[in-house]
Each structure stands twice: as structure tokens, then as C-alpha cells.
């Protein structure tokens, strides 16, 4: 055997071994990760959008917006805050807005600039557009959207809650500043180091003014602060408490207090129905930062780092306050729990029928299709009509109390209508053939399945074809189902 032959055999053997190795090694399943999203809106605030969406997240799941602090990034907050752990455990999408040194020299959100903190403008509008994108893209429940943030992100959380109480069901202000405290950089520094003292009514009026005339229901707000914070004065937590208790029309004396791990004192301020509307978490001795508690326990989360301090997992207690763990949490109404037993009882080509178990005290029930309210009923069953055939839909249900406030939504169920979903395609005859919707014979074009004559096989004759069953096409030039 010649040297050339031995070389050729060796090369082929190496290639074969490589191919065998590629096919023999099992490929890892796709896993959720932090992903940048572009084209989410007009983005007047020049922000970047990142998301973390757990694998197989159903429609009707909540959304949590998480805002980083100064000198930080979306990736930094994602890696340290612990929120991805609970997104996986409880089933919700995460949105991480990110600013940059182009917007602010220290990469802070501009919570003190009127062009960025005003409803419908700048960074505030960019963040709201991210929420709109997430609701449309992931079919998220519009009644369960929440926002949280650290430091400047905490101050921006206050802004978002004040500007868009119609969007957010709850918020968590971590080492932040009350809404409306500043109108420029100088007053922002004053708020930060020498907190402004206002009456609860004055603080509440700032939110009511910012909201665009909103009259409720209002977000349920958690406020976290370390007693040893020398960057954002701890008195800001008291002012934020005054602001949101006033919004809820309740006093500044807690309904209850509890001692938690990490030297943390939790104070709860209940609404008129006895449900937590505002909660404060004071972490004894903690400096400026977000409270985390690394570990594998259910109530442990995050990793330590700059401004991520080992005391208590704030993300865990915030998620519980919002009811993201499946409990009623703060909720949005006075009812104790979401409807259980939601199931699909029947489908046709244009309808889906549902039933669920009654909730004690419920006056009615809201039904949500893909996170958008599609109807309401006083009974425990509902039929959604006017649907497209052969199409999958996701449903959740929420009980509504006597004051008209909806509680936490149920676990989502999926249903697929019967029949084949008609599809229409408009193209010239040549492209119809190229796409496999038609075939040509003897210089003429024929629709696949029906064999209807479509005319000469060229690019000058066009038709609309409707696929009425798999691979069966008919000419539908006079109109096609929408």
C-alpha cells in the first residue's frame, strides 16, 4: 500500500470517528438563559431589554420587572438577586431593563429627571413598553405584573408604581426613594442623603398626580432598607411607607410585626379587608444594597457581591408577599385564594367550555384568554366563543369580590379547538409550485389536492390559495377566512 493510500485511509478514518463522536454524544436540552430583546418599542429612554423566561412557561403567567442599581447591569442583577430561582420554582417571566453610561455617567436609571420619570416619557415609557412586549410575546397575565429594583433601580421602581398603577399589581422598593421626591440632580442628592420629610397626604398626592388620574386599585408595595445604609438614608423607607399607606387610605401604625432571619423586622399594614397592602422590611445593621442569603433552602437565594449583602433573601419574601408562590399573598382583591379545579369541559371548532370550583365570597369570576380578559360570569362555568378552529388557547380564572376587585388568577389550562385552521397564501403560480402548494403539468399550474387549474406556470399570474386540510388547497381569490 502506498503512502498516499495510507494517508487517504487515515483521513477517512479520522472523519468517520469525528462523525460517530458527534452522533454518539447526547446533546443537552435547551435551557432558559438571560436573553437580550430588541425591537420592543420606540424606546424613548434608550434602554436595553433582557429577559429570563423559564422553559415551557405557560400563557397566563406573571411578569416581574427587575431594575439594577448604579454601576450595575441586567446581567449583574440576574446573577446575584436570586430572582431566576423563583421564576423557575413559581413560574413567571423576568424582564431586566438596563441603562448605560450613555444615559447616565454611573449607569443609574434617571429617576430624578422629569423627561425620564414622567408617565409616557423617556425611561419610564421604555420600561412600560418592555412590559407590553412581554405580555404580548409570552401571553402573560396583565393583572399580575410586578416591579422591583435596588437603589436607583428602587427609586425607579417608585416612579413606575406612581406612573403606571394601572400596569403594576405590586412593587418592591429596595434601598430606594419615594416617588416624586426629586425634580433634578440637586434635589435627587438631597433626597438621597438628607431625606425630605412630607406628610403622608403630600406623599400620596405626588403619586396621584403622577398616575394620570388613576383611582385604583393600587399596587401592593414592599419596602426594604438596611438600618446601616449610609448611601440612601434609611428615613427614605419611612417616607415610602407614608406614601403608600396614604394611597391605600390606611394609617401608619402596623397591623402586625414579625422578626425574620438576618435581623430583619417585618411590619405589615393591612387594607380595609384585612389583607397586606404595604409591608416594610428593616434589616438591622445592613449597609446599602440588596439583601440576599446564598443557599439551597426554599427561603435562600442569590450570591453575594458588591451591593448584594448576606442577610436574608429579599426576593423570596417579596415573591410571597405578591402571591407568586401560589398563595393568595397580597393579591388584588379581598378573596382568600384563586379558583381551583379549572378544567376544559368541551371544545368545538369555534368554542372552548370551562368549569372551576367556587370560591367562598366570590361575587363573580373573570376569565382570561392568553392573559387578556375575555369575559365574566357569576357561575362557575363559561364558554368562550368566536375562536379559530384548530388553534391552541390558554385560560386562567380569577374570583371577583363584591367591590369589583379581582383576586389572584388560577393555574392556567390549555385547550385546542377542533378542526383544521384555514390558512391562506397569495403568490404567483411559480412561487406556489416552489412552496409545495401547487404543481405544474404541460405548462399549466394546478392546486395540490383539489387539482384546480390556476392558469399558466409563470410569474405573471397570481392566486390566493386556501389550505382547508393538510396539503389540500383550493383557489380563494374572492376572499379568505381571517
Q: Is the peptide bond before 451 cis (omega within 30 degrees of 0)?
A: no
% helix, strand, coil for the chain, step of 5? 25, 30, 45
Q: How far apart are CA 259 and CA 266, in angstroms?
A: 6
- To 10 degrees, what angle do helices 152-163 and 200-210 make? 70
Q: Kindly report the CA angle at 116 between 115 and 120, in degrees rounded to 5?
A: 85
CA distances from 167 to 119, 171, 309 (A): 12, 11, 30
Helix (H) or strand (E) holding 86: helix 83-90
| DSSP codes of every residue in 383-424 | EE-SPPTT-EEEEEEEEE-TTS-B-PPPPPEEEE-SS---EE
Instruction: Respond yes or no: is residue 151 known to be catalytic.
Output: yes
Give Cβ neighbours of residue 297 (< 8 Å, ≥ 6 apart).
none
- 158 neighbors 204 (Cβ within 8 angstroms): no
Q: How far apart are CA 482 and CA 459, in angstroms?
A: 26
Helix (H) or strand (E) holding 131: helix 122-138
Q: How far apart are CA 332 and CA 271, in angstroms?
A: 11
* Letter string b/e over residues 395-431, b meaning 16 or more CB atoms within 10 A of that residue's CB: bbbbbbbeeebbbbbbbbbebebebeebeebebbbbe
β-pairing, 392-400 with 364-369?
Answer: antiparallel
Q: How far apart are CA 165 and CA 161, in angstroms?
A: 5
Q: How far apart are CA 278 and CA 241, in angstroms?
A: 7
Q: How far apart are CA 177 and CA 156, in angstroms?
A: 8
β-pairing, 372-377 with 364-369?
Answer: antiparallel
158: helix, strand or coil: helix
Spot the catalytic one: 151, 158, 240, 314.
Answer: 151
Catalytic residue list: 151
Amino acid at each position: 500500500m502506498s503512502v498516499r493510500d495510507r494517508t487517504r485511509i487515515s483521513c477517512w478514518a479520522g472523519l468517520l470517528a469525528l462523525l460517530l463522536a458527534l452522533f454518539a454524544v447526547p446533546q443537552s436540552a435547551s435551557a432558559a438563559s438571560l436573553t437580550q430583546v430588541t425591537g420592543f418599542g420606540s424606546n424613548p429612554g434608550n434602554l436595553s431589554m433582557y429577559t429570563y423566561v423559564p422553559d415551557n412557561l405557560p400563557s397566563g403567567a406573571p411578569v416581574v420587572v427587575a431594575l439594577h442599581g448604579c454601576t450595575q447591569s441586567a446581567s449583574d442583577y440576574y446573577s446575584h438577586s436570586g430572582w431566576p430561582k423563583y421564576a423557575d420554582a413559581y413560574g413567571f417571566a423576568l424582564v431586566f431593563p438596563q441603562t448605560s453610561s450613555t444615559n447616565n455617567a454611573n449607569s443609574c436609571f434617571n429617576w430624578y429627571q422629569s423627561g425620564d420619570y414622567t408617565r409616557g416619557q423617556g425611561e419610564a415609557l421604555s420600561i412600560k413598553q418592555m412590559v407590553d412586549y412581554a405580555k404580548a410575546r409570552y401571553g402573560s397575565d396583565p393583572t399580575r405584573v410586578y416591579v422591583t429594583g435596588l437603589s436607583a433601580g428602587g427609586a425607579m421602581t417608585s416612579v413606575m408604581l406612581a406612573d403606571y398603577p394601572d400596569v403594576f399589581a405590586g412593587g418592591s422598593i429596595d434601598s430606594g426613594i419615594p416617588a416624586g421626591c426629586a425634580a433634578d440632580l440637586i434635589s435627587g442628592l438631597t433626597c438621597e442623603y438628607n431625606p425630605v420629610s412630607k406628610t403622608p397626604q403630600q406623599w400620596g398626592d405626588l403619586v396621584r398626580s403622577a398616575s394620570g388620574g388613576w383611582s385604583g386599585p393600587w399596587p401592593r408595595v414592599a419596602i426594604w432598607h438596611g438600618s446601616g445604609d449610609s448611601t440612601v438614608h434609611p428615613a427614605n423607607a419611612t417616607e415610602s411607607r407614608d406614601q403608600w399607606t396614604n394611597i391605600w387610605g390606611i394609617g401608619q401604625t402596623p397591623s402586625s410585626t414579625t422578626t425574620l432571619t438576618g435581623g430583619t423586622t417585618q411590619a405589615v399594614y393591612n387594607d380595609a379587608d384585612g389583607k397586606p397592602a404595604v409591608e416594610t422590611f428593616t434589616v438591622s445593621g445592613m449597609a446599602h444594597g440588596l439583601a440576599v442569603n446564598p443557599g439551597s433552602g426554599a427561603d435562600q437565594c442569590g450570591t453575594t457581591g458588591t451591593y448584594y449583602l448576606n442577610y436574608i433573601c429579599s426576593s423570596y419574601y417579596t415573591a410571597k408577599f405578591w402571591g407568586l408562590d401560589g398563595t393568595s399573598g397580597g393579591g388584588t382583591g379581598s378573596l382568600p385564594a384563586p379558583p381551583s379545579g379549572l378544567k376544559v369541559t368541551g371544545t368545538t371548532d369555534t368554542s372552548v367550555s370551562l368549569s372551576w370550583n367556587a370560591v367562598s365570597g366570590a361575587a363573580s369570576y373573570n376569565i382570561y384568554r392568553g392573559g387578556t380578559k375575555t369575559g365574566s360570569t357569576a357561575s362557575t362555568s363559561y364558554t368562550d366563543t368566536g375562536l379559530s378552529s384548530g388553534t391552541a388557547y390558554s385560560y386562567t380564572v380569577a374570583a371577583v369580590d363584591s367591590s369589583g376587585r379581582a383576586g389572584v388568577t388560577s393555574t392556567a389550562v390549555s385547550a385546542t379547538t377542533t378542526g383544521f385552521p384555514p390558512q391562506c397564501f397569495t403568490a404567483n403560480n411559480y412561487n406556489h409550485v416552489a412552496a409545495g402548494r401547487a404543481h405544474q403539468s404541460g405548462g399549466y399550474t394546478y392546486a395540490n389536492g383539489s387539482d384546480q387549474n390556476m392558469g399558466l406556470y409563470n410569474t405573471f399570474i397570481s392566486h390566493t390559495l386556501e389550505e382547508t386540510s393538510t396539503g389540500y388547497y383550493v383557489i380563494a381569490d374572492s376572499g379568505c377566512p381571517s
